[in-house]
Structure 1
Amino acid sequence: MKSKISIQFVFSFAKFYSINSNNRLKSEKLISYFKQHPKTALLSELMEGDDRYFNLKGLVGSGVALVVAGFFDRPGKQQHLIVLTDKEQAAYFYNDLENLFGETETDYNKKKILFYPTSYKRPYEPENADRAYQLSRTEVLKRFMSGDRKTIVVTYPEALAEKVVGRQYVTKNTMKLKVGEEVSLDFISDLLAEFDFESVNFVAEPGQFAIRGGIVDVFSFSNDHPYRIEFFGDVVESIRTFDPASQLSLQNMNQITLLPNVQDRNIRETRVGFLDYMPAGTILWMQDVAFTADRMDKEFEKAVSAYEKTENPDSPVQPVDLFLKGNELLQKLPGFRVIEFGNANYKKSAKQIQFNQQPQPAFNKNFDLLINNFVNYSEKGYSNYIFADNVKQTGRLYAIFDNIQHEQPETGRAHFTSLTLSLSAGFIENDLKLICYTDHQLFDRYHKFHLREGFGRKEALSLQELYHLQPGDYVTHIDHGVGRFDGLQIIDNNGKKQEAIRLVYKNNDLLYVSIHSLHRISKYVGKEGTPPKLDKLGSNAWKKLKNKTKSRVKDIARDLIKLYARRHASKGFSFMPDTYLQNELEASFIYEDTPDQLKATQDVKKDMEAAFPMDRLVCGDVGFGKTEVAIRAAFKSVNDSKQVAVLVPTTILALQHFKTFSDRLKDFPVSVDYISRFKNARRQKETLG
């Protein structure tokens, strides 16, 4: 059935403005503003005295993160712990700090902003343990034990409620290895087993190890990537990190630390609160002290309830050994300097500092209001800034305002500077006279946080296939052709033992392929029910077949080139470049574009603007954003005085797409309708007319 989009275009006008795009504000400069903030300086001065509690009032949005960043950037070696009231707020705060400090490092050993989550989803359900979060927690403990780098740790009450093993246990169960060291391979194997590491064929997540001849792969809880340790006899010959998906090496290491999962609930060791790991002088930033203690009590109650429901209550460690109550946290606070920055006031005697910030106003995508707002604040001496999540959004903002400028050149100017910096919430800083708005709030777009993902989803297809290969399955080697998988075997390679894949070829010839060459092997794909012929090692048959296939591919390519040359020579309709309304539509998308979605949109619009007929197929799984690409293309078409028909295979889809298009285009001068078998001929004619 056909669904029809008919659009009558009406233009609205906005006020003229100008953009100050020279010398764009760097995040370092932004941090320096708050480092020199008179209230930040006052806080620093007060903390040199004997006071232990401080209360910051008037902070809103991402202004809190900037105050923390500015204070952290001041002289001093103190560690900082930031406690938000829940995981979501903590994640947004963590992302704000990451982006402000430009934390692009994937190596957590080099980061200065760390996230401290819970290690589980539900208490007393080991299958719900999160390996990625366990790794994050262990890295934070390791950082505080070393004390060699000034760090900000962001967390929330549920994570604080979970006790950790003491420093002595971590030290006792840590092993350091370095290149050239003499150590028995059997000792390493026994140690990893004692550390409760799981023996697997190929490591994919923390807590796993694999031994193949003289090679040990181990995914320690002390690093974001697994290690590959090569032995020559009993001597460590080389150590390097590698990607568990591709098996390719990443970085050579001279010394490493092997650390077990110290978050394991079954470890029967005396546990302590996280604050016991805090060095002397650590500064605690807490959004709400009383609320944090209350949430910890609720988490303890949940643990007790889960414990009582376990099938064998004598086996698991009891809740009192695993979780802290709120009052236990409160008893630790006098040992630190505590800065409370929410609306509450835990200590009435706390030194209070009043900031003067306001939240970003709601403009509801009304650029008239936004420009008036900028003009008014500019006249008062304020500097206007818009923070965009990515470069594409920055470009859209400029395009929107540039078109508005040409529509209404006679009215006042609104100056602003844009910065590609993702922040969670905009604000107005009156003391510094700064307007800091976020683009996702201007367009009512959803802003999501990003945390470390689980490891299981990153396993490569080649490894998954290897796990599922059975002796007798057919595989293809890029150099030797079709063979039969015959399992794994330990072989001697220049005096070193290593595991290899054994392939059987014609006449029972054998080929051993190192696991480092997995990328040269793929599972055979051919006609079902017809076993392939095995190639003969050393013959030219496979080489001839590859050459013949290459020749055939070239013939097909030549035919396609001729076809598309004729298509390119044909004349089609060339749509005009994006208008400000097009940019406004795309910027108003409530989610962040995926890279593939963004590229598909750009390619489709590029095709539409070309002077020859378009020929493009957009593919993707359900929920991957194909409809949004279609909406943008349809809007571009009607923007050029055309009508658009969207053809879908079923009546239900026609109605669904009608609702989706209507909702997406409701703020634009667009008429959307649909036709299906449920509409009579007269109504269909009216729609098409």
Structure 2
Amino acid sequence: MRDVLIDPLMNLDSYKKLNESIVKKEFPIMIHGLIEENILHLAYALNRHLDRQIIVITAEETNARKLAEDIRAMSSHADVEYFPKKEMIFYDIEALSNQTTHERLRILYRLVNNEKIILTLSAQSLFDIIIKREVFENTTITLDLNSTVELNSLQNKLVQMGYERVNLVEGKGQFSIRGGIVDVYSPNYSNPLRIELFDDEIDSIRYFDVLSQRTINNLEKIQIIPSKEIILSKSQKKNIAENLKKDLSKYTSKSKNLRISEIALNKFNPIIESLNENNDLANLDLILPYIDENIKGNLADYFDLDSIVLIDEIKSIEEKIKVNKDISNSNLLELFETGEVLQTHLNLSCDYSKFVKVLKDKNIITKSFFLKPDDDFPPKAIYQISAKQASFYANNFNFFVEDLKRYMYRGYKTLIFSGTIERANRLKTQLNDASINVTLIGDENNLIQSSQVFIIPRSLEKGFEYENAKFTLISDKDILGNNKRAKKARKKKTKSSDAISLGDLNEGDYVVHENHGIGQYLGIVQLDVDGVKKDYLSIAYRGKDKLYLPIEQMNMIQKYVGNDANLPKVNSLDSIEWVKKRNKTKKAIEEMAKDLVELYAKRENIEGYAFSPDTPWQKEFEDSFPYEETEGQLRAIEEIKADMEKKRPMDRLLCGDVGYGKTEVALRAAFKAVMDGKQVAILVPTTILAQQHYNTAIERFSDFPVKIGILSRFSSTKTIQNTLSMIRKGSVDIVIGTHRLLSKDVVFKDLGLLIIDEEQRFGVKHKEALKKLKENVDCLTLSATPIPRTLNMSLIGIRDMSIIDEPPEERYPVQTYVSELNKSLIREAILKEVSRGGQVYYVYNRVESIDKMAYELEQLVPEASFSVAHGQMTERQLENVMIDFINNEVDVLVCTTIIETGMDIQNVNTIIIHDADKFGLSQLYQLRGRVGRTNRLAYAYLMYQRDKVLSEVAQKRLKAIKDFTEFGAGFKIAMRDLEIRGAGNLLGLSQHGHIENIGYDLYIKYLQEAVQRVRGVNVIEKIDTTVDLKLDAYISSFYIEEEEQRIEIYRKISSVENKEDIEELTDELIDRFGDIPKPVLNLMTISYIRYLASKNNIISIQQIDRGIKVNFVNANNISLDIISFLTDKYKNNILFSLTKDANITIRLKNDILNATLELIEIIDMLNNNQKIAEEVII
């Protein structure tokens, strides 16, 4: 095995002796002399060299996570996992996010299979109560193509394993059954599984895609693992309930405080009742100490027999465990005194002796810098592997070159980590120019010789040196002062679409019919007309009006999407009111489209400045960005640069959520402008944002000679006057400011680029000043509100837009809890965040009582400091509060939804939302998005009033919020609401009103048509063809049980436009639901006939006695070619009517459906040939 990272280390005598001791099983072993940075290198070396499982235990949770990230970044060969610690919560939580649970279960599965991974964890994780290894193994379901499955038995077992039965599998821990098809998403797989049965035999097993629900590839064997960490049988639940009841009785009989007793009774009685009824609990932490010992396990049980447990700084671990025990005991005692836990819960706290006990029989290596053997793990062998930190050059390249020459002279093997291939190539050129011969290697499969220097495009956090081995590893951070991670392979992103469709249509939702207006959807009804069964959408209009819309005409309606705060006004069927409103909106859209096209054309003809191609400094600046860019960022950067290099002035909108990396994109554009000697103005709506942008710019441009100025209220008069003078002289390159930048005394010497952040937040007066400033300079506008993809597509060619629609890779999911308002939980949440140096948002949306709320919180958590922020404060008051908060002078900000947009304070990683049921889903989504902006674990607590009966809407809202990952319906609804808001912001206030009037989808349809018309494209009104054939055409509930999925498939059927669509849909139906019944096949063919007929100006197709009648818009639609061809084909069986009611009547003997399809296809073919002939003549 060749590995350039570890070969020199393996040649050390001390490492060879260490290896001998491991082979002889002389454990415990002690290693001293290694520095903190070496633990990752040693773990990797042992794993690669010995091909064993390596368990690395650290004192701090953050160290364990970072260690895994660093090992992964260091080597492409590293197979490393981080086992996250369980967050214990002793409150009555109704819902909590389970990403961490599923991640832990996935890793347990790998350990059970004895995979040779490196596992990093904190010592505290060893105290977590989890499913016993034997129970995990015995519960895991193994299936292959030879297995037989009894469906009811499988369903019951999945439920017992913690899986939730749903209609559509969208997330881990879910399963669905449709006839003989079982979909299940086991935590150990990156895609869900589809098992198709033939009777009780497995016909096929395959992966499928969550978004499309289509098969990815076939499998021969699968293992379905538990979906929760504790599995309880009915009898075990009863035992727990019995012990809880005894404990509760003791507690209430001893308690002298009736109120506290009542809290305990109200909390634990429902839990006891739920357990007795064999129900699952949302929060198992409350019953952990009552679980039988024979089903409880710990992580150490899962370690491989020959695994090596590498303990990093044992004394630090011992101290940390003692501190955690004291904190835990104190917290549990406080909870005990307030009725939140009972006597048995007090036993949950763990001490150091348990840590020693669970690891006593393991293959232990303790690593310590000092030579001080541990009494609990007395070493049988002690080895010194000395290492020291590499020098830190902080961008002093000459110093770095001198050191390299010294290393080469002394025969050192030197390995430089460049982070990226781009940095590697540049560094190689620079070193070659400095007369140092270096070799660029693509991976670790190389051998390095004495006095050689290798560069590898991998990442290392900090470099280190083994003097005895004459081996040094230097990181890009050591050289440049920052490091950049090697690019990870990103998961292929499914093509984005707008967030919501008719597949999300539920009874009671509002829909828009283009001809009849807004009505309320009542569901699918099946009607039997003359012995023929068909499905119809039932839609209620004002009064008692009802419309039964044939299901194949489903594309005539859209789900109404407007402002979720206002319900739309339902129309009467065929009302004049709707026609007037629709026509008024159409006219307004036409005018807006005309204005936009004219504005775009005018801008195209203005001569601006064409920026030069990228300079080497541009490349260097971009490469100094310490994070991996997202695909959206890279795409946006390319689009903006291409615009800047054109002669006409750029006017581009850049959309993306806060924290998605818009600022970095803007700064790269700014740098490009500065490289051409142009000035850049960055205009922001608030002083706080100006300061944030200024701080970011100062940091990013620190290594380059770029002069940055700021104009805001925080600048002194003298500073402002000095900055204004420098702007006039051109000695300031980039100036950042609020609307102060628009003042008449701000005169640029040579402004080349204007960057506007959140333009919609500026007033009318400021927008007028902006217009003048924008006239012949490049302009980039940033928006934090997402824009619907359909709107973006509609405006192609009249509005240049770039969209960043994916968050940075490093982010961790926000741990979300839904709970009744609980003071103890609030206190614990605040203290937990503050104790780790973080800050908290407490969202309270009632201005009149917000000060009282802040006072109550101060009394509840006197250890923390509080401030209040709301929209009724003066701008100056609000800015002062926010600056104090940004500067970390305040722990908790009690605020209204004022933090919903714009703020990006990375130190805030806990948000508590008071009365969460009163917020819209989009608000909850955006509020929760204020935390979790770094690679630190973040928490969101959504609370509602205790004992309050929630409305059905509020209950649905809170249920949706717990699924707020990208697969959740809540996410889609929230995103759609935000997109509509974004559409309103982009198109202006007046257009927002029109969107409200007719709904978003119909608005977009009219906008697309208007843009085409203004550009001179002939827009043909689509004919609403009816097809009336006496055939059963519907999807039965036996085939697709859930109405939501039936609507989704109906929608797809109504959208077919060619035979490829039918084939695609046929494959999907067979894949997802099994063999297709005849009425569904009929429906698909009828839908295709309807599409072709509409395209060929056919109003209706009717089945008549012994044939069909095809009615056209007028006689001009029946060409001589059609008459000639059809007469030859059908002879005496055809009759043409070329009067006002133009039609063709044909006598048909049998198979009415295929005969009709053949006829319409012939008409379509003849019309297409005619069009081609006409185009050739032209």
CA distance in 2, matches of 1:279, 1:489: 59
- 1:515-535 Cα shifts (integer Å, max 9, x gaps): xxxxxx98565899587999x
1:686 to 704, 711, 725: 725
Match of 2:173 in 1: 207
Tell whether 2:213 aligns with 1:247: yes
CA distance in 1, matches of 2:163, 2:401: 60
User: Secondary structure of 2:655's partner?
Assistant: coil
1:287, distance to aligned residue in structure 2 (A): 0.3
Match of 2:658 in 1: 622
User: Secondary structure of 1:597's partner?
Assistant: helix
CA distance in 2, matches of 1:570, 1:382: 59
User: Secondary structure of 1:661's partner?
Assistant: helix
Tell whether 2:83 aligns with 1:116: yes
8 Å contact from structure 2 (residues 483, 626) kept in 1: yes
Tell whether 2:656 aligns with 1:631: no
2:183 to 193, 209, 217: 217
- Residues 28, 251 of structure 1: CA spacing in aligned structure 2 closer, same or farther, 3 A cutoff? farther
1:158, distance to aligned residue in structure 2 (A): 1.7
8 Å contact from structure 1 (residues 56, 341) kept in 2: yes
Gaps of 5+ in 1: 1-25, 104-110, 491-500, 514-520, 535-551
Alignment-mate amino acid for residue 84 of structure 1 = T
- Residues 421, 225 of structure 1: CA spacing in aligned structure 2 closer, same or farther, 3 A cutoff? same
Higher relative contact order (CA 8 A, sep 6+): 1
Match of 2:1031 in 1: none
CA distance in 2, matches of 1:464, 1:315: 46
Tell whether 2:43 aligns with 1:68: yes
Larger radius of gyration: 2
State TM-score, norm by structure 2: 0.45
1:160 to 126, 137, 143: 126
- Residues 295, 272 of structure 1: CA spacing in aligned structure 2 closer, same or farther, 3 A cutoff? farther
1:575 to 612, 617, 626: 612
Match of 1:497 in 2: none
1:379 to 409, 432, 443: 409
8 Å contact from structure 1 (residues 124, 303) kept in 2: no
Tell whether 2:300 aligns with 1:275: yes
Match of 2:55 in 1: 81
CA distance in 2, matches of 1:476, 1:679: 57
User: Secondary structure of 1:335's partner?
Assistant: coil
8 Å contact from structure 1 (residues 120, 129) kept in 2: no
CA distance in 1, matches of 2:558, 2:344: 46
Alignment-mate amino acid for residue 506 of structure 2 = Q
CA distance in 2, matches of 1:412, 1:173: 64
User: Secondary structure of 1:67's partner?
Assistant: helix
- 1:170-223 Cα shifts (integer Å, max 9, x gaps): 244333333353333222222223334323333343333333343333233443
CA distance in 1, matches of 2:708, 2:147: 73
The answer to which structure has the higher helix fraction is 2
User: What is the number of equivalent residue pairs in this alignment?
Assistant: 602
8 Å contact from structure 1 (residues 577, 609) kept in 2: no
Tell whether 2:53 aligns with 1:30: no
Alignment-mate amino acid for residue 686 of structure 1 = S
8 Å contact from structure 1 (residues 163, 323) kept in 2: no
CA distance in 1, matches of 2:126, 2:500: 37
- Residues 327, 658 of structure 1: CA spacing in aligned structure 2 closer, same or farther, 3 A cutoff? closer
For the aligned residue pairs, the C-alpha RMSD in angstroms reads 4.8
Q: What percent identity do the matched residue pairs reach?
A: 26
CA distance in 2, matches of 1:656, 1:112: 39
- 1:58-116 Cα shifts (integer Å, max 9, x gaps): 3346543233222222356x43211122222212222233345526xxxxxxx953332
User: Secondary structure of 1:508's partner?
Assistant: strand
CA distance in 2, matches of 1:31, 1:532: 75
State TM-score, norm by structure 1: 0.72
User: Secondary structure of 2:134's partner?
Assistant: helix
User: Secondary structure of 2:65's partner?
Assistant: helix
CA distance in 2, matches of 1:89, 1:50: 28
2:108 to 101, 118, 141: 141
Match of 1:54 in 2: 29
- Residues 258, 153 of structure 1: CA spacing in aligned structure 2 closer, same or farther, 3 A cutoff? same
Give 1:503-514 correspondences, 5 Å limit: 507-510=548-551
Tell whether 2:21 aligns with 1:42: no
Give 1:353-364 correspondences, 5 Å limit: 353-364=383-394
Tell whether 2:505 aligns with 1:469: yes
Match of 1:181 in 2: 147
8 Å contact from structure 1 (residues 123, 306) kept in 2: no
- Residues 385, 75 of structure 1: CA spacing in aligned structure 2 closer, same or farther, 3 A cutoff? closer
Alignment-mate amino acid for residue 195 of structure 2 = I
CA distance in 2, matches of 1:39, 1:646: 58
2:365 to 339, 352, 371: 339
1:618, distance to aligned residue in structure 2 (A): 2.9
- Residues 644, 146 of structure 1: CA spacing in aligned structure 2 closer, same or farther, 3 A cutoff? closer
- Residues 374, 391 of structure 1: CA spacing in aligned structure 2 closer, same or farther, 3 A cutoff? same
Alignment-mate amino acid for residue 289 of structure 1 = I
- Residues 676, 137 of structure 1: CA spacing in aligned structure 2 closer, same or farther, 3 A cutoff? closer
CA distance in 2, matches of 1:97, 1:42: 24
CA distance in 2, matches of 1:197, 1:150: 29
1:231 to 197, 207, 229: 197
- Residues 230, 522 of structure 1: CA spacing in aligned structure 2 closer, same or farther, 3 A cutoff? farther
8 Å contact from structure 2 (residues 83, 119) kept in 1: yes
1:90 to 56, 64, 70: 64
2:314 to 276, 283, 289: 289
8 Å contact from structure 2 (residues 332, 341) kept in 1: no
- Residues 470, 368 of structure 1: CA spacing in aligned structure 2 closer, same or farther, 3 A cutoff? same
8 Å contact from structure 1 (residues 245, 459) kept in 2: no
Match of 2:400 in 1: 370
CA distance in 2, matches of 1:38, 1:522: 74
User: Secondary structure of 2:5's partner?
Assistant: helix
Tell whether 2:369 aligns with 1:328: no
- Residues 238, 269 of structure 1: CA spacing in aligned structure 2 closer, same or farther, 3 A cutoff? farther
1:286, distance to aligned residue in structure 2 (A): 0.7
2:468 to 415, 431, 440: 431
1:465, distance to aligned residue in structure 2 (A): 6.3
CA distance in 1, matches of 2:344, 2:321: 18
8 Å contact from structure 2 (residues 15, 385) kept in 1: no
CA distance in 2, matches of 1:163, 1:459: 41
User: Secondary structure of 1:102's partner?
Assistant: coil
CA distance in 1, matches of 2:95, 2:15: 42
CA distance in 1, matches of 2:512, 2:692: 45
CA distance in 2, matches of 1:672, 1:129: 46
Q: Which moved more, 1:570-579 or 1:634-643?
A: 570-579
- 1:494-515 Cα shifts (integer Å, max 9, x gaps): xxxxxxx9856974323599xx
User: Secondary structure of 1:338's partner?
Assistant: strand
Tell whether 2:676 aligns with 1:640: yes
8 Å contact from structure 2 (residues 25, 363) kept in 1: no
8 Å contact from structure 1 (residues 161, 300) kept in 2: no
CA distance in 2, matches of 1:80, 1:614: 55
Gaps of 5+ in 2: 231-283, 439-452, 527-534, 540-546, 574-589, 730-1178
- Residues 343, 467 of structure 1: CA spacing in aligned structure 2 closer, same or farther, 3 A cutoff? farther
- Residues 329, 373 of structure 1: CA spacing in aligned structure 2 closer, same or farther, 3 A cutoff? same
Give 1:288-687 correspondences, 5 Å limit: 288-308=313-333, 309=335, 318=345, 320=347, 324-343=350-369, 345-347=372-374, 349-394=379-424, 397=427, 401=430, 413=436, 415=438, 416-445=453-482, 469-473=505-509, 507-510=548-551, 523=559, 529=568, 572-575=609-612, 577-580=614-617, 582-608=618-644, 614-649=650-685, 654=690, 657-675=693-711, 686-687=725-726
